Amino acid sequence: MQVRSSAMIYVRTPILMVLCLAGAMTLLGCAGAKAPSQPPESSAISGCTQRLLALKPDEMPIENCGADKPICDAATLSSKAEQGNAVAQYNLAVRYHMGSGMAPDDEAAMLWFRRAALQDLPQAQAQYGLLLSNGVGVQEGDLEVQKEAQKWLMKAAKADMGVAQMALGLMYSQGCGGVPQLSGTAAEWFGRAAQHGITLAALQK
């Protein structure tokens, strides 16, 4: 099932969430004007990252509940998540965000993404940072939210998550999301993202 939004297409599957591009990338809030050398407090990260491809399916960890149940049901995931299993927390967050097997609940999704991120699961750090940057469950454009999103994207990028590396490249190339415009830093992150097959050219297809 596909649910369209103005920024992207959400493809719903039982266990995976893939954020697909909806047309050519437009850096809203950044395009059409020269980016300042220092970021204004009102700059929104989503202007840089809202059309960014999220985690590829092969990058998304899946909690296995055994040979007879390779895909955990919601009750089992919830139990494992409550016990502190980071991958289960991530999978539960995906289900809440997509409404897969349960009612959509962005507040619960963000809570579980954050808990998994706090356990240093790079995929959760990347997803949490991207959702923060796109204003999910928060006030979009808020300076503290921008800083929080940047923090988690940086953690994920340093853990070699390509989608987070591309997000940072977009932010630094445009001076968006509470960071200055630094072409050299942007080029570095673009280069690292390209090693994962994530390029500006690919985003614009």
Residues 21-45 have pLDDT tens digits of: 222 222 222 333 333 333 333 334 4
Distance of CA 3 to CAs 22, 93, 113, 179, 202, Å?
Answer: 11, 18, 21, 32, 22
- Token pair for 62: 């899946």
What are 130-186's pLDDT values in tens digits? 888 887 766 656 778 888 999 999 999 999 999 899 999 988 988 887 789 999 999
Q: Residue 107 is inside which H or E element, if any? A: helix 106-118
């949490």: which residue's tokens?
128
Q: Looking at the DSSP assignment, which residues form a beta bridge with residue 4?
A: 9
Contact yes or no for 89/112 (Cβ under 8 A): yes
pLDDT tier for residue 17 given thresholds of 50, 70 and 90: very low
pLDDT given at position 73: 84
CATH 3.30.450.20 for domain 2-24+40-199: no
Greatest pairwise CA separation for the chain in angstroms: 57
> Which of 167, 168, 198 shows the shortest CA–CA distance to 185?
168
Mapped onto helix, strand or coil, the DSSP state of residue 172 is helix
pLDDT at residue 93 is higher than 70 = yes
Q: Is the pTM of this model over 0.85?
A: no
pLDDT given at position 177: 77
